Chain A
């Protein structure tokens, strides 16, 4: 990886809510505590973890859909977080997003044609008949006929809507697509088709992906590299094959063991996930994973484990057992 496309450094996002009427308490939810990673051009980078670990928040913060509290995001060296107005608009062209819920991702009152040509008009890429021609071409690319242009979202199934959402993300010809659980809301039968489409697009257009998912098998199939998140932090990172097959961090091991295994002989003998994920409003001291960790040692309750790089491009891990 010579020059990374996207670099994320120490990203942090806390949500503050007030509870109670008379005695107001401020509750801080530490959704993203400290997240750093980099994605190269054309690379598929996976972000995995249980729901509530902050992976979607991190993805939205680097896209400036929510404003991060701290950290840095660079696009080809350019500061994304400082961009305003026209600069930000130009950066938005480079990075697009596909949503988990295809039902809420499309404006119910807007025809598909308008939904696909509006971004082109806003960015002065194309208008009129030319924009419509491009929209039809994009639909063809995601496997839908041009007749779709004059229909409304409610006329389509979840899988078809997800294809439309993908076509819309492509209207601005981005280099990176953030896919936030892109298939987890779909029927199992259509998941594979949409995944194949995404991989095909990646190959044909040389797209880079930030692939956010809780489904390890999907990530393993789609991604080159993977980071595992727990309570707002990345606990392990590395090549997808290594991290998902021989994880070092006890949490990553737990995730691997809990995911469906194709070998029936091994089923049922594995330790299941222990305990509940602690609230991000009150993270435990020390290593955030220690209350659930089967291998916890004394140090784990006292101090936060440092990031330890592994040799030969095998990534890194944040665990006292491997420090």
Chain B
């Protein structure tokens, strides 16, 4: 097990390097001069040259790449072009809000999606199943900002159950939770829809396997078959989807944070977009990469826990 753990952690290193390289490529692949894009109308030759020197885009490409990778791997992701503050500090200040939101959405998605998927699988092709299918299709068709607005209108403006604005005092857990619920529901809805669908098909597949039939024949109670034998075997695809979906959650958290006016990486990224804070964008991409690689590695490790065959491979 320890060997498996070490191997998986080691395997994350090349992935991280590759993703960071992708960030570098995406930022540099843009046709034209970033300095001119950033300066826009105020571009004078002097200002552009000064900005190029500041950004380092006047240096040769390999030099820029080496510098970028070196700094990113040592945790230095630069300073904001606009505020002049270290990007890491800006991110650290809002990261808890985004992590709160993402985790809460994940929990919500699992709590709603898992039972719904199992339920649909057990009532295959009947009204419940078709309804679950339609509802889950509806759920995953919602752009998050649309579901956010609808939920906001219903729960915060019409029924006034939840506050409109989601910015919470981190030190006050109750306040934090209260203001988290509505955004987490918004973000978790789409995830719940995905989990419902995957759980349904994974359960159907798992319940059709020979060992389930054997268990039935041996007289194992139905409840135990479904919850213990069926679900254990359906867990791998479900974990895969949850792991994959964290990336989408992070993407959608941007929209959720705008709708609920919550602080977080999303607000930071939109602010950086509007102010053309080029270094901040790059720093944020690095952070997203690290988060995603971390989640993928965690998913891989979870595989090992769930399935002994993966450990041996």
Contact = CB atoms under 8 A, between A and B. Distances in A.
In the complex, A touching B, CB below 8 Å? yes
Nearest to B3: A22
A21 B14 CA distance: 14
A21 B10 CA distance: 12
Nearest to A22: B7
Interface string B83-104: 0000000000000000000000
Contacts of A22: 7
The 3 closest A-B pairs by CB, nearest first: A22-B7, A21-B313, A21-B7
3 contacts: A21-B7, A21-B313, A22-B7
Interface residues of B, number: 2
A21 B313 CA distance: 8
Contacts, number: 3
Interface size class of A (residues with CB under 8 A): under 10
Interface string B1-39: 000000100000000000000000000000000000000
Interface of B: 7, 313
Contacts of B7: 21-22
A22 B3 CA distance: 12
Nearest to B313: A21
Nearest to A20: B313
A21 B4 CA distance: 12
Interface in A17-43: 21-22
A21 to B, nearest CB: 8
A19 to B, nearest CB: 11
A22 B14 CA distance: 14
A22 B7 CA distance: 9
A22 B11 CA distance: 10
A21 B7 CA distance: 10
A63 to B, nearest CB: 37
A286 to B, nearest CB: 36
A209 B313 CA distance: 46
Contacts of A21: 7, 313
A22 B4 CA distance: 11
A291 B313 CA distance: 33
Nearest to B10: A22
Contacts of B313: 21
A40 to B, nearest CB: 52
A21 B300 CA distance: 15
A22 B313 CA distance: 11
Nearest to B11: A21
B136 to A, nearest CB: 33
Interface in A274-294: none
A19 B208 CA distance: 32
A151 to B, nearest CB: 34
Interface in A39-66: none
A24 B7 CA distance: 14
A308 to B, nearest CB: 49
A283 to B, nearest CB: 28
A219 B313 CA distance: 44
A243 B7 CA distance: 56
